[in-house]
Amino acid sequence: RASHAKIEHDRVKLFLCSGETAEILLYGATIISWKAGGEERLFLSEKAALDGSKAVRGGVPLVFPVFGKSSNHPTDKLPQHGFARTSRWEILDTATESEEFINVDFGLGPENLTVDTRKQWPFDFGLIYSVTLTKTSLQTKLLVRNEGQEPWEFNALFHTYLRVPDVTKVAVTGLKGVTYRDKVQGGAEATEESDKLTIASEVDRVYVKVPGTVKVEDIEVGKTLYTVERSNLDDVVVWNPWEKAKTIADFGPEDGYKNMLCVEAGSVSSWQPMEVGSFWEGGVTISI
């Protein structure tokens, strides 16, 4: 069958004629499944709410306009990670179908936000989120526009929960020499010494201004599982809750942290300023 998109009441499913698929909820424009090479590539908690009652635990939630919680900033009334992941997006009718790729674009603007969220962050903005599936990659792109009469600033991040066979047997490469803020150590700054970051306990680090491509490798087999290429996104967050997963109500199974690693491309270490009428675009391509 030819590549095609199937639109359902709460989600879009993308099918590539070579067999790859992706599934995106309108809620948060959250990608909840990406299948390539015959395998599911994203981790989705079995307890994740998919009904729009809370942000999805797994897949690729979008973080905008604030990463974490801010203080003394115009975003400080917003909940952790902002509203993009908890708002219902619109499908823009720009899906293109071909042998090589299939794409769908989503839009979010003030008219899609709740009255409460508007009060928490009253700026005028337009977002276009573009998701493209190819045979070997998942490509995501976020276009941000200031549509108001005053400047504002934001963080953005693609909170990608990668599925891995065994997190203790993978390494993240491409971070050596990069400064990071260690959120497990209260935000202490450190420099990555290793060219192969391995995970053996809770990890929550914001790597600031990462120069090149980051990869997730299977250190036992010696093969690359994922290649993460960023465009206009300086920072990379690496997160695994380890046994704290037990304390996260919607995280399941309890030992599911062994099969996931969040490698999150974003612009979060400093605020991205947006002058009136200006555009910003950032994106990430994950290849297998």
Residues that bind ligand BG6 (CB under 6 A): 55, 80-81, 159, 183, 204, 237, 239, 264
Q: How many CB atoms lie within 10 A of CB 129?
A: 25
Q: Which is nearer to ligand BG6, 187 or 212 (CB)?
A: 187
**Closest listed residue to residue 59, CA positions, set 144, 131, 107:** 131
Amino acid at position 174, single letter = G
CB neighbour list of residue 95: distance below 8 Å, 6 or more residues apart? 5, 102, 103, 104, 105
Report in angstroms how near the CB of residue 242 gets to ligand BG6 at its nearest.
11
Count the helix, strand and coil residues of the chain and give each as a percent rounded to the nearest 5: 10, 50, 40
Report in angstroms how near the CB of residue 55 gets to ligand BG6 at its nearest.
6
d(CA 35, CA 13): 11
Report in angstroms how near the CB of residue 183 gets to ligand BG6 at its nearest.
5
Q: Which residue has the tokens 């794409």?
A: 103
**Closest listed residue to residue 212, CA positions, set 196, 238, 233, 181:** 233
Question: What does the DSSP 8-state code read for residue 206?
Answer: E
Catalytically active residues are: 159, 264
Q: Which is nearer to ligand BG6, 149 or 201 (CB)?
A: 201
Q: How many CB atoms lie within 10 A of CB 211?
A: 10
Q: Which residue has the tokens 């790859």?
A: 20
Q: Which is nearer to ligand BG6, 38 or 186 (CB)?
A: 186
Report in angstroms how near the CB of residue 203 gets to ligand BG6 at its nearest.
9
Q: How many CB atoms lie within 10 A of CB 164?
A: 22
Q: Which is nearer to ligand BG6, 81 or 141 (CB)?
A: 81
Radius of gyration, alpha carbons of the chain: 18
Report in angstroms how near the CB of residue 28 gets to ligand BG6 at its nearest.
11
Token pair, residue 46, equals 């079995």
Residue 85 annotated as binding site: yes
Q: Which is nearer to ligand BG6, 154 or 239 (CB)?
A: 239
Instruction: Point out the annotated binding site for substrate.
Output: 57, 80, 85
Annotated binding site: 57, 80, 85
